[in-house]
Structure 1
Amino acid sequence: MELKPKRFLILDDQLVLRKLISRQASFFSRFAVEIDEFSDPAEALRSIAEGGYHLVITDIGMPGMNGIDFIKNVARLGYQSALLIISGYDGKTLQTIADMSSALGIACTRFLAKPYSADAFVGMLNSIFNELERAAQPDPTDIERLLSRLGNDNYRLEFTPVVTLADRRLCGFHLAALVLEDDRRYPMEHLLRLLAGRRMASAVALETLVERIARLLLEVSRQTAFDECPVSVRIDEACLSADNVFDHCYSLLQQCGVLPRRIGFELADGLRRGADAVCFENIAKIRYLGFHLQAGDFGQGSLAVSNLFKFPFDQLNVPLETLRWMRVLQGEDAGALRLLRYFGLPQTAVCAGRIDDDDALTLAQAMGCVSGTGDVLGLAVPEGELVEVAREHWGSKSASDGGASAI
């Protein structure tokens, strides 16, 4: 299925820089790209008003209407897709302008400080479109088709490798998306939002996915030298609201001979003050049954505000956006997350997310993150290639090793 081209608008009053950005955008192979270039902010605004742009790229220091006023006017037009600011201003100033843009309603806002490399530019584009995919609202009418495909096993899974930052050692996988037979892809964030509107749908889907993952983990253990390969699965309040869902997951793992410690459940959002008691019961059961409990997207939304230190988390997943504002507040400090040890989390339990370029990797290491996920660390792995990827990293298990009853 051929994807429609992505439309970019580039605004810069300097012709050479504008052409340079245009050329760098041509290196972006993820999508075909159509580019409109402007030197006049007023003309750019008129074109934005007509609609259709997936990304607006702008300078800040321009004569006449400066970049800050341009961004304000872009927001007034109702543009809500993505904005990339490219400027020679310092990082703190650009972060402040990006925060202003987000507050105005352009949620996906990024910046690059000059000078930057072509690789950093392409990495930033990947980061932007990753976020746009995560934020896209699924069509509610898809739920019937989705549940039918789940019930008939007509889907496949995609996983993101979890890699140590120091030596690029593969240490597990994160369930990234579900893909239907017609190649329609549902990132886990979208899948959870879609299913949350139908009673018990989230629980049924979770049990179905855990059963599929258990079979994959069993195969990884049979064919590779790494018996402890863990997989993390994102969950939300709708998953937690179902009675006995984690008991059922536990039983499914037992049937496959897979130990529960090889599954980590990543709590994607916080629990409301009035959340059902079964939600808190299920969080306790996750730990009681031997699963791992992870905090997802630290610093983003209600989880960080209300629940981070209330629950017995084993791991903290920190997105790149949070690392950036932590750097603005504290500078690059490898001990920035040292407070976590007072709540039972060692520094080794901090995993950086959305590491899509070398600059992001450098920041994650500087802030003390031990492991991470993202395009620069490893691209998505289809479930059919999971065992092969694991074998490449961990080696094959010899026939003489035999098999254990619980892996």
Structure 2
Amino acid sequence: MEPSARPRKILVVDDEPFVLKVLVRQLTALGYEDVLSYEHAQDALAVLEREDHDVDVVFTDLQMPGMDGVEFLRQLVQRGYDGQVVLVSGEDARVLNSAEKLAYSRGLRVLGSLAKPATREQLQQRLHGAAPAMCASVPQDAYPPEALRNAIAAGQLVTCYQPQVAFATGEVTGVEALIGWQHPRDGLVPADRLLNGLQYYGVLNDLTRSMLPSTLEQARQWQHLGDDFRVGINLSMDDLAALDFPDFIVEAAARAQFPLSRLVLEINETRMTRDRLVSLDVLTRLRLKRISLLIDDFGTGQSSLAHLRDVPFDELKLDGSFVHGASRDASLNAIVKASLLLARQLNMRTIAQGIDDLEDWNVLRELSCEVAQGKFVGAPMSAEALPQWARTWAARYAALAR
């Protein structure tokens, strides 16, 4: 069924009878006729244990006697529930946010959270786009290293490009090149699933070296899209462990006639090799060649500040988990402000990832972030689609600036 399809059956769990009745009445008024309601989490679990339960969305309170909402979510995972979840609670917003993150981390498909009392409009907003249960995603370790090596040799790797634009002027500033594996059985597998996998150590260097030359050649054709058009490329742990990697980059850029000063190498600290001296050797040499080094997903690791101290990064990308929703969440807003201030004091260019709506755009623009990347600007796309996107974006930005 298409993602816009309505859920078939909804289950609501809340220990307060009045709140439970109000939620059921609101959902029924919105046209959801098959709604189950329970005051006790154990009773709800008994329903979900049946193979034919057909429950697509679960609404649950967090503060419940006997079994609280966090334990209930854990039980959903243990029972293999593959539908969607909405948290509805009177708890503090930060507690709600923590519970939502925990549910995501456990693999549940979370539609969001709502503070009590939830309005009919808020319920509709959360349910908009909710779809019936789908098959679980392929486990991260489903592909043996040899399968990836064969995919590289067979030319099954593809590159998409996500555009980046300047907040202040709307000018196209570049793209991030995103590699995917066009798997013959599982469809497009994002490279994120592979770049952090220790089991692929020794294979990922082949991935970068096979894809980077064509990416640079493609990017050279887009120089007219912006005065300082840059291309960002994600590095793997293999790349950072290869002492000859800087020389490979220089040779590939020379063949593609792509300026090294417009190349941005994106490094996630989780991919730093266990031999920190080798990583520092590679990264320092790259910086000496006037290649930009970007610390990716800033704030999500345990040693981001130490890496800013030790590695000559000159660009910082805010992680989307902090950016999206910063207009509504005071904690996220404070983290974003502090990160941008730190970057400015270190003379680093700033990019906000996860600009998914107008509210995200407005708040990061007001905070003087330099570059935007996210669904609001443009989703990852093929090389052929980028010029047309650029024309469409120019018209959109003109309307935004009025």
TM range (shorter): 0.7 to 0.9
The share of aligned pairs that are identical, in percent, is: 17
1:15 maps to: 24
Q: Which amino acid aligns with 1:246?
A: P
Matches within 5 A, 1:41-52: 41-49=41-49
2:37 maps to: 39
2:311 maps to: 311
Using the TM superposition, name which of 364-373 and 247-256 deviates more. Answer: 364-373
Normalised TM-score (structure 2)? 0.73
User: Compared with structure 1, are the counterparts of its residues 235 and 200 closer, same or farther at alpha carbon in structure 2 (3 Å cutoff)?
Assistant: same
Deviation at 1:69, TM superposition (A): 1.1
User: Compared with structure 1, are the counterparts of its residues 18 and 358 closer, same or farther at alpha carbon in structure 2 (3 Å cutoff)?
Assistant: farther
1:389 maps to: 389
Using the TM superposition, name which of 93-102 and 69-78 deviates more. Answer: 93-102
Q: Which amino acid aligns with 1:342?
A: Q
Distance 1:155 1:316 in 2: 27
Q: Which amino acid aligns with 2:179?
A: A
Using the TM superposition, name which of 204-213 and 94-103 deviates more. Answer: 94-103
Which of 93, 98, 101 is the aligned partner of 1:91?
A: 93
Q: Which amino acid aligns with 1:188?
A: A
Residues 237, 271 of structure 2: 8 Å contact kept: yes
Residues 320, 354 of structure 1: 8 Å contact kept: yes
1:216 maps to: 218
Deviations 1:353-378 (A, max 9, x none): 22333444445445543322222221
1:151 maps to: 153
Deviation at 1:54, TM superposition (A): 11
Q: State the SS of the aligned residue for 1:309.
A: helix
1:401 maps to: none
Distance 2:8 2:260 in 1: 46
Which of 137, 142, 145 is the aligned partner of 1:139?
A: 142
User: Compared with structure 1, are the counterparts of its residues 375 and 341 closer, same or farther at alpha carbon in structure 2 (3 Å cutoff)?
Assistant: closer
Which of 192, 197, 221 is the aligned partner of 2:195?
A: 192
Distance 1:305 1:49 in 2: 46
User: Compared with structure 1, are the counterparts of its residues 351 and 154 closer, same or farther at alpha carbon in structure 2 (3 Å cutoff)?
Assistant: same
User: Compared with structure 1, are the counterparts of its residues 361 and 184 closer, same or farther at alpha carbon in structure 2 (3 Å cutoff)?
Assistant: same
Q: State the SS of the aligned residue for 1:297.
A: strand
- Residue 161 of structure 1 pairs with residue 159 of structure 2: no
Matches within 5 A, 1:3-402: 10-12=10-12, 13=20, 14-19=23-28, 37-40=35-38, 41-49=41-49, 57-60=58-61, 65=64, 69-79=68-78, 83-87=85-89, 91-98=93-100, 105=106, 110-113=112-115, 114=118, 121=126, 137-141=140-144, 143-165=145-167, 168-180=170-182, 182=184, 184-194=187-197, 196-221=198-223, 224-226=224-226, 228-270=228-270, 275-304=275-304, 306-323=306-323, 327-329=329-331, 335-336=337-338, 337-345=340-348, 349-365=349-365, 367-390=367-390
Residues 11, 18 of structure 1: 8 Å contact kept: no
Highest Rg: 1 or 2?
2
Question: Which consecutive unaligned segments of at least 5 residues does structure 2 have?
Answer: 13-19, 396-402
Question: Which consecutive unaligned segments of at least 5 residues does structure 1 have?
Answer: 24-34, 396-407
Using the TM superposition, name which of 168-177 and 73-82 deviates more. Answer: 73-82
Distance 1:208 1:362 in 2: 39
Deviation at 1:276, TM superposition (A): 4.8
1:400 maps to: none
Q: State the SS of the aligned residue for 2:142.
A: coil
Normalised TM-score (structure 1)? 0.72
Deviations 1:181-237 (A, max 9, x none): 74721223113135x43453222211222112111112223xx35363212122233
Residues 203, 245 of structure 1: 8 Å contact kept: no
Residues 377, 393 of structure 2: 8 Å contact kept: no
User: Compared with structure 1, are the counterparts of its residues 340 and 85 closer, same or farther at alpha carbon in structure 2 (3 Å cutoff)?
Assistant: same
Distance 2:124 2:178 in 1: 24
Deviations 1:137-160 (A, max 9, x none): 15223x434333433434321121
User: Compared with structure 1, are the counterparts of its residues 99 and 380 closer, same or farther at alpha carbon in structure 2 (3 Å cutoff)?
Assistant: closer
Deviations 1:25-75 (A, max 9, x none): xxxxxxxxxx9843214443234446899985424378xx47981332221
The two structures, once aligned, show a CA RMSD in angstroms of: 4.3
Q: State the SS of the aligned residue for 2:179.
A: strand
Residues 270, 306 of structure 1: 8 Å contact kept: no
Distance 1:391 1:207 in 2: 32
Q: Which amino acid aligns with 1:38?
A: L
Deviations 1:4-41 (A, max 9, x none): x9989744332243357887xxxxxxxxxxx9843214
- The number of residues matched between the two structures is 367
Deviations 1:80-108 (A, max 9, x none): 877442457663442244356578x4687
Q: Which amino acid aligns with 1:150?
A: I
2:398 maps to: none
User: Compared with structure 1, are the counterparts of its residues 311 and 387 closer, same or farther at alpha carbon in structure 2 (3 Å cutoff)?
Assistant: same
User: Compared with structure 1, are the counterparts of its residues 259 and 390 closer, same or farther at alpha carbon in structure 2 (3 Å cutoff)?
Assistant: farther
Deviation at 1:293, TM superposition (A): 0.7
